[in-house]
Structure 1
Amino acid sequence: MSARILIALGVAGAVAFGSGMIVWVLVQPGATTETSTGTSGSDAAQREHRERFFGGDPDGDVHGGQEMKPRW
């Protein structure tokens, strides 16, 4: 192949990659939009699940703790 064709293919590839990255950054795939009408049923269920999972035992004694031993 001639040098002109290789340079043209390189420039075209760089432009395509750059424009694809710009579109990806602007669109942010997987991003959700929040509505001002409140939370839906699935959001409430997710919140309740998180509270149960991370809630822990409010009456448990956490002062002093337990010595951490390395697992060699």
Structure 2
Amino acid sequence: MSPRILIALAVAGIVAFGAGVMFWVVVQPDAPTETPAAAPGSGAARQEHRKRFFGGDPDRDVRGGQEMKPRW
């Protein structure tokens, strides 16, 4: 085979692969219609969950902490 044919086949393969990937990204076969983040729930329940998750432990003293030293 001549080098010209090999280069043309390689370029055609890369273009075909890229087109397949773009088709896959755009079409999204069997994609769920609703994302898990958009699941139904009351705003109060979500707010309570956020408060418990980010609230921390009010009884734990974290003001003194530990001195941060670089590890060289």
Return the TM-score normalized by structure 1: 0.45
TM-score normalized by the length of structure 2? 0.45
